[in-house]
Structure 1
Amino acid sequence: MSACVIGHITVKDAEKWAQYRAQVPATLAPWGAELLFRGQLADILDGRHAHTDTVVIRFPDRAAVDGWHGSAAYQALIPLRQQAADLDLLTFSDQ
């Protein structure tokens, strides 16, 4: 069963965000992850949404998500990410 990580993002520092984004793909590769979508909010059709950007990354399974997120490579990027953006990071898996 595949799993997806969805990030809802509000960029605070564009330069630091670009640095973070440039380093993330190398942390994903060992876990078989694929970037499916990265984009900016076009419209809110219903309800509320606090963030301006979204990213969707597909992993082979939930274990790969947990391995990636807990990896030393990704953990090393979290301080930069926190300086660069406010982020809600969610995991969803097939049922």
Structure 2
Amino acid sequence: MTAFFVATSQVKDPEKFAQYGQQAAATLGEYGGELVIKGKFSGNLSGANEHDAVGVIKFPSMSNLQSWYDSPNYQALLPLREQAVFMNISTYAVPE
């Protein structure tokens, strides 16, 4: 079952956010993670919005996603992430 990590963010520090993004991307390969979408907010079709950036990462399974998130390499980036953005993270499992 494919799994998706979906992060919506309000950027506090664009430079640190770019650093976080580069460093986080470097941790994905071992877990089969693949960046699917990285974009800036451009408008609402319906509802309210409180974020200005979105990222979606695809993993082969929820187990891979969780192992990546819990990994020492990714966990070491959390202080940088906290300095860079307010981030909401959701996970989604998609049947094959």
- The alignment's TM-score, normalised by the length of structure 2, stands at 0.95
The equivalent residue for 1:59 is 59
SS in structure 1 of the partner of residue 80 of structure 2: helix
* Structure 2: segments with no counterpart, 5+ residues: none
1:31-87 deviation per Cα after TM superposition (whole angstroms, max 9, x unaligned):
001100100111111111210110010000000011000000000000000000000
Q: What is the distance in 2 between the residues matched to 1:5 and 1:19?
A: 19
SS in structure 1 of the partner of residue 22 of structure 2: helix
Structure 1 runs of 4+ aligned residues shifted over 4 Å read none
Structure 1 residue 25: Cα displacement: 1.4
What number of residue pairs does the alignment pair up? Answer: 95
Q: What is the RMSD of the two structures over their aligned residues, measured on CA atoms?
A: 0.8
The equivalent residue for 2:76 is 76
The equivalent residue for 2:48 is 48
Which AA in structure 2 matches 1:89?
Answer: I
Identity %: 39
Q: What is the distance in 2 between the residues matched to 1:49 and 1:76?
A: 29
Q: What is the distance in 1 between the residues matched to 2:64 and 2:7?
A: 16
* Structure 1: segments with no counterpart, 5+ residues: none
1:18 aligns with 2:18: yes
SS in structure 1 of the partner of residue 89 of structure 2: strand
Q: What is the distance in 1 between the residues matched to 2:52 and 2:26?
A: 24
Q: What is the distance in 2 between the residues matched to 1:26 and 1:85?
A: 19
Which AA in structure 2 matches 1:58?
Answer: K
